[in-house]
A and B are shown apart, each in its own frame.
Chain A
Amino acid sequence: MNKLALCKFILLLMPILCAGISVPAAADSEIDATIDAAIDSRAPEHHVLVMLHLPPLHFRPDANYASGYGDGHGRHARRRIAAELARAYGLRLVGDWPMPLLGVDCFVMQVPASESPSRVATLLEHDARTEWAQPMGVFHMLGHNDPLYPVQPSAKYWHLADLHTVTTGRAVRVAVIDSGVDDGHPDLLGQVALRENFIDGNPYAREAHGTAVAGIIAARADNGIGISGVAPNARLMALRACWQESADSTDTTRCSSFTLAKALHFAIMHEALVINLSLTGPSDRLLQRLLDVALARGIKVIGAIDPDSPGGGFPASYPGVWAVAGALPKGDGINVATNALTAPGNDIPTTLPGGRWGFVSGSSYAAAHVAGLAALLTELQRSLTPSQVRARLLASAPEPIALRMAGTINTCALVTWAAGTCPCLCAATHALATNQRP
C-alpha cells in the first residue's frame, strides 16, 4: 500500500466528512427549505398533488453507485418538469416526496385562491407530463382526543363524537343558572360568553356544582385535556344565582327565589336559547311567571328531577319544563314519571374548580346532559318549539344497552331527525347488529 496515497486520502476525507456533517439545513435545495413554511397546514384545500413518473433505479456508467430515490439522478429533472408545469398552470411549486412503491414522485403545488383545486387537477391530468393529479384532501378525526372522553357515558351511549360530526351547538346560548363557574378552567377557556353574579354581598366564586354542570354542557372538545362537553361550541352564560355554603360539599349549595328570578330574567333578556336549572325547591309564583315567559319565547328549559319529591319537585314538574332524571342501572327501584327523560347521571367525569376534574353523580348532571343535547338540536333546527323537540325526545327509543346505562334518549335518532342525515350507526343497521348478538 502506498503510504503517501493513504495519507492524502485521510487528509481529504476529514474536511469532506466535516463539511458533510455540518451542512446546515439552509444548504438544502430551495424547495426543501420552503416545504414547512409554504405548505399551509391551515389551508391544505388550496393545494393539488401532481404525480410524475419515477423511473426505477438502474445502471449508470458513472461512479455514483446505489443512489436512492431521494437524492438520486433524475430528481432534478423531475423538479424541472414540475417547475415547468407550475409555471404553465399558474401554480406555485411547494415540495415533493418520491414514492417508489407507486413509481411516482409526488409534487405539491399551491393553487391561487381564485382557482378551484379540482378544476386545476383535472387540467393537469390531461397533461402528458403527469401520471395523474388530484386535489389535496382534508381529513378530520372521528372521536375526540380529550383523555377522559372514553369514560364519559355520553361518549359511548350517546355517540357523542358521531353527533359532533353534524352539530356542536355552535353559537347556541345556554344559560347555566347555578353556582359559580370556574371560567378560567383549562377545559372551559373561551366557553363562557358572559358571567354574572346575582347574589348580593357574595362576590363571584368558582364553585363545584356550577363548574361541573358547565363542563358537562360545553367543555372544550379536542383540546387534548379533560372531557368533551355535549355541545362543545355552545356559548355558556354563567349566571351565579346559587352559592356554596360549605367548601367541602356541593350538598350545601343554595339558591333563593330572588337570586334565581334575577338570573332567569337576565337569561331571557339576553337571548338564551336553552336554560339549565339543575336545582329543586318549592313551587314559586315568581319563578313560574318567568318560566311562562321563557317557554312562550321558545326557550328550552331543562330541570333536574328531585327523586325525594313526589312529582319530581320544582321547576322540573312545571309544565313545559323538560324534567330529567339520572339513568341509573336497573334494579335501583326508582320510579320515573312517564313524561320524564333520563340521561347519564352516574359517575360522570367533569370539570371542577381549580383546574381539576372529578366524577359526579345525580340528576343535576343528567339535566346538564339534556341541556347540551338541546343545544345540539337547536343548532340544527332553531324554529322547532320546545314541546315538539321534547315529544321527539320522549318518543325516541335507544338500543337496549344504552337504555339501561344512559337513559331513554336515542340521540342518534334525534339528530338524524333534526339534521336530515344520520351521523351514527343508523337504527336499521344497528338493530341488525344487536339482533345478531347471542
Chain B
Amino acid sequence: MSTRLAGCLGCLLRDAAGALLVVVIAPPALCQVSGSIALVSDYRFRGVSLSDEQPALQLNLEYDRDDGWYAGGFVSSAQVNEDEPAAAQLVAYAGYARRLSSGWGWEVGATKSVFLQAAGYDYAELFVGMSAENISARLYFSPNYFGRDGESIYAEFNGAYPLRQHLRLLGHIGFLRPLSRRDDASSLLFDTRLGVSADIDHWNLIIAWISSEGQHAEYRYRDRHRNAGILTVSYSF
C-alpha cells in the first residue's frame, strides 16, 4: 500500500502541478483564496471508490469573488480500476452562487473531471443547486458520465445537524440514473452517507459510513465493497 501511495503522490505532483497553476494565479484583492489538503482512507465518490479502496491525498484550491462567481481546482490521487495504473484526478470547476434574503441560496456551475494517466474516464457536468445554512440539494447533468457515451443525471440532498459547537452530524443521499435509452432504464444507483464532523482550529475530522445500492452501467469498477467506513482528515487554509 505504501508504494502505491508514493506512486500516487508522484503522479499527483508531476501531472497536477501544471494544471494547478491555472487556479493558483495571483488573485485580485477582491477575491478570497482558500484551500484545503485532505487525507481520506478511501476516496468514495457518490458511493463508488475511485482510489481502489486505498487512502488518497487531496488538495482543493478555490477563489471566491465578491460578485458571487467562484472557481476552483481539485486534485486527488485516484485509481478507478485495479487494472488501470495509479492516476490523479483533476477537477476544475466554476460557478455562480447567490444568496437570497430568505436565507436560501441558489447556484449554477460546471465541472470538468480529468483522469491523468487513465484515459477514457474524463467527463463534464453541469449542475444547479439550492442551499441554506445546513441543507443543500443539487442536480447534475453529464453528457458523458465517466467517459461513457450516454447522459446521466445525479441528484443529491445533503444535511448537517449541529450537535454542539464545532461538532456536526452529516447526512447525504444521492441518486444516479442514466438517461440514455440504450441502457436499462430502471438502472439506478443510490448512495448514502452518514457521518460526524469535528472542527478543531484549522483541522477537520470526518468519520462516516457510506453505503450504495443498485447497478449502474457507467461505472466500470469492481463491485466489491458497497459499504465502507471512511475517515477524512483535512487542513484548511
Spell out A's residues near B (CB within 8 Å): 1-2, 5-6, 8-10, 12-13, 16-17, 19-21, 23, 27-29, 52-53, 55-69, 71, 73-78, 80-81, 100-101, 103, 128-129, 131
Least Cβ distance of A433 to chain B in Å? 36
Selected contact of B30 from candidates A67, A103, A129, CB within 8 Å: A129
New contact pairs (14) apart from A27-B200, A58-B95, A100-B99, CB-CB < 8 Å: A5-B225, A5-B228, A9-B229, A10-B229, A13-B207, A20-B205, A56-B98, A59-B129, A61-B91, A61-B111, A63-B44, A63-B208, A65-B158, A69-B133
Whether A77 and B66, one on each chain, are in contact in the complex, defined by CB atoms closer than 8 angstroms, is no
Whether A66 and B97, one on each chain, are in contact in the complex, defined by CB atoms closer than 8 angstroms, is no
- Chain B residues positioned under 8 Å from A64 (CB to CB): 36, 197, 204, 206, 232, 234
In the bound complex, what is the Cα–Cα distance between A16 and B196 (angstroms)? 9
Whether A19 and B198, one on each chain, are in contact in the complex, defined by CB atoms closer than 8 angstroms, is yes
Q: Is B58 an interface residue (CB 8 A)?
A: yes
Q: Mind listing 19 A-B residue pairs with CB under 8 Å?
A: A2-B225, A16-B196, A16-B205, A17-B196, A21-B164, A27-B201, A53-B32, A57-B105, A59-B127, A59-B129, A60-B93, A62-B36, A62-B234, A65-B193, A66-B131, A66-B158, A71-B166, A71-B204, A78-B32
- Chain B residues positioned under 8 Å from A101 (CB to CB): 101, 103
Whether A12 and B93, one on each chain, are in contact in the complex, defined by CB atoms closer than 8 angstroms, is no
- Chain B residues positioned under 8 Å from A29 (CB to CB): 201-202
Whether A16 and B105, one on each chain, are in contact in the complex, defined by CB atoms closer than 8 angstroms, is no
- Chain A residues positioned under 8 Å from B101 (CB to CB): 101
Q: Is B74 an interface residue (CB 8 A)?
A: yes
Whether A76 and B207, one on each chain, are in contact in the complex, defined by CB atoms closer than 8 angstroms, is no
Whether A74 and B158, one on each chain, are in contact in the complex, defined by CB atoms closer than 8 angstroms, is no
Selected contact of A16 from candidates B72, B98, B162, B207, CB within 8 Å: B207
Least Cβ distance of A389 to chain B in Å? 55
Given known pairs A55-B97, A66-B134, A66-B136, the reply for A60 and B60 (CB within 8 Å) is yes
Whether A68 and B207, one on each chain, are in contact in the complex, defined by CB atoms closer than 8 angstroms, is no
Given known pairs A20-B196, A57-B105, the reply for A13 and B229 (CB within 8 Å) is yes
Q: Is B16 an interface residue (CB 8 A)?
A: no
Whether A73 and B207, one on each chain, are in contact in the complex, defined by CB atoms closer than 8 angstroms, is no
Nearest B residue to A55, CB-CB: B64
Nearest A residue to B197, CB-CB: A64
Whether B29 and A128, one on each chain, are in contact in the complex, defined by CB atoms closer than 8 angstroms, is yes
User: Could you say which of A5, A62, A73, A75 has the most chain B C-beta atoms within 10 Å of its C-beta?
Assistant: A62
Given known pairs A12-B231, A20-B205, A63-B206, the reply for A68 and B160 (CB within 8 Å) is yes
In the bound complex, what is the Cα–Cα distance between A69 and B111 (angstroms)? 23
In the bound complex, what is the Cα–Cα distance between A178 and B48 (angstroms)? 90
User: Could you say which of B30, B193, B196, B207 has the most chain A C-beta atoms within 10 Å of its C-beta?
Assistant: B207
Spell out B's residues near A (CB within 8 Å): 29-30, 32-34, 36, 38, 40, 44, 58, 60, 62, 64, 66, 68, 70, 72, 74, 91, 93, 95, 97-99, 101, 103, 105, 107, 109, 111, 127, 129, 131, 133-136, 138, 158-160, 162, 164, 166-168, 170, 172, 193, 196-202, 204-209, 225, 227-232, 234, 236-237
- Chain A residues positioned under 8 Å from B99 (CB to CB): 56, 100, 103
Whether A76 and B160, one on each chain, are in contact in the complex, defined by CB atoms closer than 8 angstroms, is no
- Chain B residues positioned under 8 Å from A6 (CB to CB): 227, 229
Given known pairs A56-B99, A57-B136, the reply for A23 and B198 (CB within 8 Å) is yes
In the bound complex, what is the Cα–Cα distance between A76 and B101 (angstroms)? 25
Given known pairs A65-B170, A129-B29, the reply for A60 and B72 (CB within 8 Å) is yes
Whether B205 and A71, one on each chain, are in contact in the complex, defined by CB atoms closer than 8 angstroms, is no
Q: Please list the 3 inter-chain residue pairs (A to B) with the smallest Cβ-Cβ separation, ordered nearest first.
A: A9-B229, A77-B34, A20-B198
- Chain B residues positioned under 8 Å from A77 (CB to CB): 32-34, 237
- Chain B residues positioned under 8 Å from A66 (CB to CB): 131, 134-136, 158-160, 170, 172
Whether B107 and A56, one on each chain, are in contact in the complex, defined by CB atoms closer than 8 angstroms, is yes
Whether B33 and A5, one on each chain, are in contact in the complex, defined by CB atoms closer than 8 angstroms, is no
In the bound complex, what is the Cα–Cα distance between A238 and B114 (angstroms)? 88
Whether A28 and B225, one on each chain, are in contact in the complex, defined by CB atoms closer than 8 angstroms, is no
Whether B34 and A74, one on each chain, are in contact in the complex, defined by CB atoms closer than 8 angstroms, is yes
- Chain A residues positioned under 8 Å from B68 (CB to CB): 55-56
Selected contact of A59 from candidates B107, B164, B198, B199, CB within 8 Å: B107
- Chain A residues positioned under 8 Å from B91 (CB to CB): 61
Least Cβ distance of A384 to chain B in Å? 55
- Chain A residues positioned under 8 Å from B208 (CB to CB): 63
- Chain A residues positioned under 8 Å from B200 (CB to CB): 23, 27-28
In the bound complex, what is the Cα–Cα distance between A83 and B7 (angstroms)? 38
Least Cβ distance of A103 to chain B in Å? 6
Selected contact of A12 from candidates B105, B164, B207, CB within 8 Å: B207
- Chain B residues positioned under 8 Å from A5 (CB to CB): 225, 227-229
Whether B225 and A81, one on each chain, are in contact in the complex, defined by CB atoms closer than 8 angstroms, is no
Whether A57 and B131, one on each chain, are in contact in the complex, defined by CB atoms closer than 8 angstroms, is yes
Least Cβ distance of A6 to chain B in Å? 7
In the bound complex, what is the Cα–Cα distance between A128 and B31 (angstroms)? 10
In the bound complex, what is the Cα–Cα distance between A28 and B160 (angstroms)? 20
Whether B74 and A62, one on each chain, are in contact in the complex, defined by CB atoms closer than 8 angstroms, is yes
Least Cβ distance of A332 to chain B in Å? 60
In the bound complex, what is the Cα–Cα distance between A65 and B197 (angstroms)? 10
- Chain A residues positioned under 8 Å from B134 (CB to CB): 66, 68
Selected contact of A62 from candidates B38, B103, B109, B207, CB within 8 Å: B38
In the bound complex, what is the Cα–Cα distance between A58 and B168 (angstroms)? 18
Least Cβ distance of B89 to chain A in Å? 9
- Chain A residues positioned under 8 Å from B60 (CB to CB): 60-62
Whether A75 and B236, one on each chain, are in contact in the complex, defined by CB atoms closer than 8 angstroms, is yes
Whether B229 and A63, one on each chain, are in contact in the complex, defined by CB atoms closer than 8 angstroms, is no
- Chain B residues positioned under 8 Å from A128 (CB to CB): 29-30
In the bound complex, what is the Cα–Cα distance between A6 and B72 (angstroms)? 35
- Chain B residues positioned under 8 Å from A75 (CB to CB): 236
- Chain B residues positioned under 8 Å from A68 (CB to CB): 133-134, 160, 162, 168
Whether A76 and B202, one on each chain, are in contact in the complex, defined by CB atoms closer than 8 angstroms, is yes
- Chain A residues positioned under 8 Å from B136 (CB to CB): 57, 65-66
In the bound complex, what is the Cα–Cα distance between A105 and B29 (angstroms)? 16
Least Cβ distance of A30 to chain B in Å? 8
Least Cβ distance of B75 to chain A in Å? 10
